[in-house]
Copies of this chain bind each other. A is one copy, B any other.
Amino acid sequence: MELETFPNPRPERPYTITHINPEFTSVCPKTGLPDFGTITVKYIPGATCIELKALKYYYLDFRNRGIFYEAVTNAILDDLVAACDPVEMTVTAEWKARGGIHSVIEATYRRP
């Protein structure tokens, strides 16, 4: 699926955009049971910004996909970086407890 973007209205000024999605869900490939979490994307846009509705539909694609905690975070970061070529981007995934243990995974990309 393609992640729609739009031109950054102020590319000459570095500023940060944060999108917080507390309604993310995917499926554990081992147990087949759903995982629930909050995905936060924070970035300094380059030439383009991620369109909010497109981001929402992008997240929906994970609803019935089997994927591990560590892989989800890195996959989202890779896809969003590929879509909008940001100056810098951090993806944080905070998961509801499984077996009594909460997990948080955080990965950062910085334009070389």
Contacts and interface: CB of A to CB of B under 8 A. Distances in A.
A18 to B, nearest CB: 4
A102 interface: yes
Interface residues of A, number: 46
B8 A103 contact: no
Given A60-B34, A64-B64, A70-B9, A101 B15 contact: no
Interface in A1-48: 8-10, 13, 15-23, 25, 33-34, 36, 45
Contacts of A55: 101
A26 to B, nearest CB: 12
Contacts of A70: 8-10, 17, 45, 49
